[in-house]
Structure 1
Amino acid sequence: MREKKYGYGIIFDMDNTLLQSVIDFTEMKRSVFELLVKDGLCAPNFDWHSYTASQLIEMARQSGKLKQETEARIWDAVTECEKQGMHGAQLEPYVPEVLAELYGDCHLVVLTNNACIAAQEALKETGIDHYFDYIVGREQMTALKPSASGVYYVLDHYPDVPAERWMFVGDSWIDGKAAKEGNIAFTAYKGNRNQMEKNEVYPVVYIEDMRELMDALIWRKEQV
C-alpha cells in the first residue's frame, strides 16, 4: 500500500469537472426565478439569465423577505433538476486514472452546490466515491458558490494544510470566484476564458485534459 503523505489538498467541483453533467441549469434558473416572481421577490422583467440559480436564491435571502416555505419549494425544484441531470451521468475522461494517481498524496475533496446525498449517490454510481476524503454539498455551506463559504468549510476541516497548499479544480467561473475569495489557487478545466475574465477570475492554469492536472500540481508545488 502506498504511503499516505497528505501535504497538499485538491478541491474538485463535480458537474462537468468530474462528471459529464446533463443538468439543465437554464431550466433550474427559470424554475427558481418563476417561484421568486410568484412570491413577489423578483420583478417579472428581471434579467435572470445573467445569474446562477445560487445567486438568485442568495439575492432573495438577502432581501429578508424569503419565506421558509418558499425556499423549501425552491430547493425542491432545484433538487429535481439535479436528480434528472445526474441520473446515469458519465465520468469526464481520465478522471479515475488521475484520482488513482493522486490518492494518498493529497487530500481529495468534492465541493458542489448540489445536495450532499445526491452528490454521494452520483459519485458512488460512477465508482469514484472511495477516492475522496470528504464530499461537501450545499448543506455544509452558509452560501453557495460563487461564495467561498464551502472553501472555508473545507480549509477549517484540514487545519494542518495551509491555504497555499490547496488547489481548486472546476469548469465554471463560480468555482474560480469561490477559490479567489478563499485565497486558494484555481485550475480551470475546460473553462470558458471569456466568462472567467468577465467575472474577474484568473486561473493559475487552464487545462483541457484531466491528465494535465498532474503537471499543474507539480508546478504549483514548486511555487509554494
Structure 2
Amino acid sequence: MLDLKEKRAWIFDLDGTLTQPVHDFELIRRKLGIDPSDDILDCIKRQSPERQRWMNAELDILEREYASQAAPAEGVLDCLEALAAADCQMGILTRNTHELALLSLKAIGADAFFEKAHVLGREDSQPKPSPEGIHILLKQWDLPNLSGVMVGDFHLDMLSGRAAGVSTVHVDVRDRHWPEDTDIRVKNLPELTSLLTFV
C-alpha cells in the first residue's frame, strides 16, 4: 500500500468528502433542464450567455441551500488535526463556488484548517477533472507533485489527481470504485486517519 507519511500536500474535495453528502444532483439537473447523463458545469458552459446567467443563478440558490445544511463527515476533524499536527499543507478543490465552500467549511467547524487562498472553487481554476487547481495549490506551497494527495469521494476527484501526477485517495462512502485511478480506497475518514503513520 502507498506510504502516506512522506505526503505533505493534502488536497480535499469538499462535498461528500469532508461533509456528509447532501447534494441531490438529479434534482439539480431537473430544475436546470439538464440531461441526467450530462455534466452540470459542462452543460452550463455550452449555453448562450443569457441562458448561462439564468442557470448559474438557479444553481447558486440550490447550492447555497445545500451549503447551509452542511454537516461534518465522520472523523473529519480528527483527520484534519492529525495532518495539521504533522505540519502538512491542506487545501480544498471543489466544483462549488469559493464563497459557498467557505460557508460549508465554517458550518462543519473546519474553516480554521484552511487558509482562504487555499480554498479553490470553480471560479478559481478549471473544474475537476482538470488538474489545474491541484497545480495551483502545489505552486502556492512550492511542493512537488510527488508530495501531493488528492482525496475525494467521486471519480472526477480521482481523475484530477491522476492528471496532476499526485496520489489519489478515494473515500468510498457510496460503494463505488475506480481502481484504475485510485491508489488507496478507504470507507471513511477515520480509516484514512489510521493510515497516517505520522499520527
| TM-score class, shorter | 0.7 to 0.9
Answer 1 or 2: higher relative contact order, Cα 8 Å, separation at least 6: 2
Following superposition of structure 1 onto structure 2, how do residues 203-214 of structure 1 map, counting pairs within 5 Å? 203-214=182-193
Work out the number of aligned pairs and report it. Answer: 190
Q: Which amino acid aligns with 1:115?
A: T
Query: Structure 2: where are the runs of 5+ without partners?
Result: 1-5
1:126 is aligned to 108
Query: Structure 1: where are the runs of 5+ without partners?
Result: 1-5, 35-47, 61-65, 220-224
Q: CA deviation at 1:33?
A: 3.7
Give me the TM-score of the superposition, normalised by structure 1. 0.76
Inter-partner Cα distance in structure 2 for 1:27 and 1:92: 22
Inter-partner Cα distance in structure 2 for 1:98 and 1:84: 26
Q: In the alignment, does 2:147 pair up with 1:165?
A: yes
2:121 is aligned to 137
Q: Which amino acid aligns with 1:163?
A: N
Inter-partner Cα distance in structure 2 for 1:151 and 1:212: 24
1:3 is aligned to none
Give me the TM-score of the superposition, normalised by structure 2. 0.85
Q: Alpha carbons of 1:88 and 1:193: their partners in 2 closer, same or farther (altered >3 Å)?
A: closer
Q: CA deviation at 1:195?
A: 5.4
Which of the two has higher C-alpha Rg? 1
1:82 is aligned to 63
Inter-partner Cα distance in structure 2 for 1:27 and 1:8: 38
Q: CA deviation at 1:89?
A: 1.7
1:183 to 150, 156, 165: 165
Q: CA deviation at 1:205?
A: 0.7
Structure 1's consecutive aligned runs of 4 or more residues displaced over 6 angstroms after TM superposition are: none
1:129-181 CA deviation, whole Å, 9 max, x = no partner?
0011321111101x3112222222222322x2101100010000011111111
1:40 is aligned to none
2:3 is aligned to none
Query: Does structure 1 conserve the Cα–Cα contact (< 8 Å) formed by 2:150 and 2:161?
Result: yes
Inter-partner Cα distance in structure 2 for 1:192 and 1:181: 23
Q: In the alignment, does 2:73 pair up with 1:54?
A: no
Inter-partner Cα distance in structure 2 for 1:217 and 1:113: 27
